[in-house]
Amino acid sequence: MTNYNLTHLHQLEAEAIFILRETAAQFERPGLLFSGGKDSIVMAHLAQKAFSPSRIPFPFVHVDTGHNFPETNEFRDSFVEELGVQLIVGSVEDSINRGTTTEESGPDASRNALQSVTLLETIEQETLDACLGGGRRDEEKARAKERFFSHRDAFGQWDPKNQRPELWNLFNGRKGPGENFRVFPLSNWTEMDVWQYAKLEQIALPGLYFAHEREVLERNGSLLAVTDFVTPRENESSATETVRFRTIGDATCTGAVRSSASNLEEVISEVAASRVTERGNRADDRRSEAAMEDRKKQGYF
Amino acid sequence: MGEADAYLDMDLLRFTTAGSVDDGKSTLIGRLFHDSKAIFEDQLEAIERSSRKRGDDNVNLALLTDGLRAEREQGITIDVAYRYFATPRRKFIIADTPGHVQYTRNMVTGASTANLALILVDARNGVVEQTRRHTFIADLLGIKHVAVCINKMDLVGYKEEAYHQIVAEYRDFVSRLENVTELTFLPISALKGDNVVERSENMPWYEGPPLLYHLENVYVGSDANHVDARFPVQWVIRPHSDEHHDFRGFAGRVAGGVFKKGDEVTILPSGFSTRISRILSGSEERENAFFPQSVTILLKDEIDVSRGDMIVKPNNQPKISQDLDSRICWFSASRKLSRGGKFIFRHTTKEAQAIVSEINYKVDVNTLRKVEEIDGFEMNDIGRVMLRVSQPVFHDAYRSNRNTGSFILVDPFTNETVAAGMLR
Ligand SMILES: Nc1nc2c(ncn2[C@@H]2O[C@H](COP(=O)(O)OP(=O)(O)O)[C@@H](O)[C@H]2O)c(=O)[nH]1
């Protein structure tokens, strides 16, 4: 008898493709939130598979904090060109200049929280009714109860008490005027699944994820890259070390790890042995245990 | 195959957990995570901080599985939470549902995608009302494997008699169930770790494997229906490019059975027959497709096919009807289900209107008795109703196929999902 079992990666793939197609079918104008990080790259890869040989039938949306690593934007631009999709950039800088949000002050100011405002403005401007995000439930406690189709009210807010139950393969994307959805095709993936799938499918990832030499400094227990936005303060000194990133976001608060893992195989072995979650390196999540939940309620991805 | 490639052989098990409050569910999950090294240092630090804040003496592993802040503050879990861990053999997805009376809907939700139900019984209390309710829901939702963990064996002196008495009690009522085909009993102590990951030395009389071994090895490959071929069309791919000028692909997820290149197929509702010319996964050509793969099917002849249609085999067709005999679980707190109620009906990739034409009975989930002559359902009620749908529905009995036998009802005004249904 033939074996009709699928490996865990192929089951996760099939599920994510189903969600991506369901999003295209149930919404009028979805967008794919593309940060340039591995989760959104994997999601884009799955979207390409879902609609092949057509082009991906929705635009990519990048919320640009202005604090990116230069490599992120280079990767983004060539990736988008290769896929032939439209790129919409929402700029946090513009929101600040318009006065719809204000820069945080203080020594540990970051623009991560400001992304919510820019995202909501972009959603409104582009009349997007669903935004596909690469969020995974294993990332953070507050995400464990997140739905695949996550309803947001007309203010873009997430109400943990008012989420729709999701049964079987049946997803309810119906909504009232002004409301929209966040959709998370990778909900059931873990960090490890993402790395393994990237290897299985030979997905090209930005060099930031692999060991390279870089000038870094240590702050609040995180290893931050020295960039235009992060420079040593008094009592801090920088040094060149061999590091890589487990997540890529705002350069002001994305921590690097010391590592010599230079390819996917080595990264997978390293993640398997690691005793710290990938978000453990993110300064913004360290502020408080409920940090993520608060940001989600305000419309953070 | 090297160690780094071992994941290419891993499969997936989805299970749901249930137990009354304080049976030790959170401790058990914490233990599975801890002993399989799925807890990270920063998570452990966070729960250590919370434990101190609450004034707990020990690090409370149960806090690891507590989600949102409101719940953390109230000290209760109020919704389904999904958790993940993996061993070299399998990835596990746990649908963790609370055990309170009022949360039948969460249990139904968690069970809908699970292959296995893990039910906790406190060795001191034996089978209680909640045990029966959880088992009934697992069975109703078509779960074929039930693992009954008789927990807190340390508190009954690890005695064999205590275990056997509970096994006998449980077997007694489980004989009435329909779907459960495999029942496994395990005497454990979640707190001390007996028979969770390692075999217990305190219970030499128990000959079975520890829980994790069971979870890693339970065979779920034949649970899905690989006989009756069903392909609900989800999306039509038409590139409109010069290169793929005539390309028309029907994208979807196989809901049952196997489709092969060259197979003769019938399209519902039109009834036209043709053959499969190609099967694609991304840009890769495939010889066949089976549940639960997401693929794109191309047909030999140009036939009008759209979302909501179903591709099947000419000699094996689903039931087609507008009147549906179904079991439902009612989810809404604000609206009651009553005769004549109108809803949006979602089944496979199809959406239609439905009217409740008859309410037959509800089931008292504690006694498992039918309650007849009722005028409606309130939140968490489970029972049998007849629906009249605005279009013919291509379906199978839920018992033979979960994907083509399930539906949800959506309130047309609030857009909320108000009921989950299983077709007879
Ligand atoms: N002695 C003993 N106590 C246990 C065992 N499992 C759980 N407990 C205790 O029972 C209480 C309730 O456990 P918890 O995991 O929070 O239960 P839940 O409500 O089902 O999640 C806690 O005080 C646990 O320490 C066990 O196997 N033996």
Nearest to A250 by CA among A59, A93, A56: A93
Mean pLDDT of the region B269-284? 96
Q: Please give the structure tokens belonging to residue A41.
A: 């790259």
* Among the partner residues B46, B247, B282, nearest to A49 by beta-carbon distance: B282
Q: Is the pLDDT of residue B188 over 70?
A: yes
pLDDT value for B241: 84
Candidates A11, A12, A142; nearest CB to B68: A142
- Partner A, chain B 310-369, Cβ-Cβ below 8 Å: 331, 344, 346-349
User: Residues near ligand 1 with C-beta < 6 Å?
Assistant: B 19, 21-27, 62, 151-152, 154-155, 189-191
CA within 13 Å, CB half, B405: 21
Report whether pLDDT(B176) > 90: no
pLDDT tens digit at each of 301 positions of chain A: 467 889 999 999 999 999 999 999 999 999 999 988 899 999 999 999 999 999 999 999 998 888 888 888 889 999 999 999 999 998 787 777 877 777 777 766 667 677 888 888 888 899 999 999 999 998 877 778 889 999 988 887 877 666 789 999 999 999 988 899 999 999 999 989 999 999 999 999 998 999 999 888 888 778 888 887 788 888 888 888 899 988 787 777 778 888 899 999 999 888 877 765 555 544 444 444 444 444 455 544 5
Residues within 8 A of B (CB atoms), A 59-98 only: none
B304, burial (CB in 10 Å: exposed 0-12, middle 13-18, buried 19+): exposed
- For residue B56, the model assigns a pLDDT of 62
B83: contact with A, CB 8 A cutoff: yes
Count CB-CB contacts under 10 A for residue B286: 17
Q: How far apart are the first and last CA of chain B?
A: 46
Does pLDDT of B227 surpass 90? yes
Encoded amino acid at B23, one letter: D
Chain B: residue whose CA lies nearest to A164: B417
Residues 134-193 of A with CB under 8 A from B: 137-138, 141-142, 144-145, 160-161, 163-170, 172, 174-176, 187-188, 190, 192-193
Task: For residues B107 and B124, give the distance between their C-alpha atoms in angstroms, rounded to a whole number.
Answer: 24
Average pLDDT of span B293-307: 96
Quote the ligand 1 centre to B65 CA distance (angstroms).
Answer: 13
Torsion of CA A6, A8, A10, A15, to 10 degrees: 110
Note the pLDDT of residue B60.
Answer: 63
What's the pLDDT at A173? 96
What is the number of residues in chain A? 301
The predicted complex's ipTM stands at: 0.92
Question: Domains in chain B and their CATH numbers?
Answer: 3-217 (3.40.50.300), 230-312 (2.40.30.10), 319-423 (2.40.30.10)
The answer to whether the predicted template modeling score (pTM) of the entire model surpasses 0.95 is: no
Catalogue the E-assigned strands of A147-268. Answer: 149-152, 180-183, 212-219, 222-225, 238-245, 256-258
State the average pLDDT for chain B.
Answer: 89
Task: State residue B72's pLDDT score.
Answer: 47
Q: Which domains does chain A have, with CATH numbers?
A: 8-194+290-297 (3.40.50.620), 205-286 (no CATH)
Question: Which residue from A minimizes the CA distance to B115?
Answer: A168
The percentage of residues in chain B with a pLDDT greater than 90, rounded to a whole number, is 68
List C-alpha distances in Å: A165 to A269, B10, B13, B82. Answer: 36, 29, 21, 13
- Do B47 and B83 contact (CB within 8 A), yes or no? no
Lowest mean pLDDT among A52-56, B38-42, B305-309: B38-42
Give the tens place of pLDDT for each residue, B63-116.
666 544 445 455 444 578 899 998 888 999 999 887 665 578 889 999 999 999
A28 contact B CB<8A: no
CB-based contact A266:A232 (threshold 8 Å) = no
B348 or A297, higher pLDDT: B348
- Atom index in ligand 1 nearest the CA of residue B60 equals 25
Task: Give the Å distances, CA to CA, from A172 to A165, B108, B342, B378, B408.
Answer: 9, 17, 17, 21, 9
**Sequence-ordered list of residues with C-beta below 8 angstroms from that of A34, at least 6 positions apart, any chain:** A40, A44, A60, A61, A62, A76, A80, A87
Number of cross-chain residue pairs from A and B with Cβ atoms under 8 Å apart: 191
B229 contacts B255 by C-beta, under 8 angstroms? no
Inter-chain residue contact A145 with B416, CB threshold 8 Å: no
Q: Are B196 and B31 in contact (CB under 8 A)?
A: yes
Is B308:B392 a contact under the CB 8 Å cutoff? no
Mean pLDDT of B319-339: 95
- pLDDT for A284 equals 44
Q: Identify the top-confidence range among A35-49, B1-15, B41-55.
A: A35-49
Q: Which residue has the higher pLDDT, B277 or B72?
A: B277
Give every CB contact of residue B118 below 8 A, 6+ residues apart in sequence.
B15, B16, B17, B18, B147, B149
B411 interfaces chain A, CB cutoff of 8 Å: no
* Ligand 1 atom at minimum distance from B189 CA: 27
| The pLDDT of residue A113 | 72
Element (H, E) at A163: none
Task: Yes or no: say if A36 and A76 are a contact pair by the CB < 8 Å rule.
Answer: yes
Which one is predicted more confidently, B374 or A114? B374
Check residue B381 and give its pLDDT: 92
Q: Which of A5, A25, A49 sits opposite B235 (nearest CB)?
A: A25
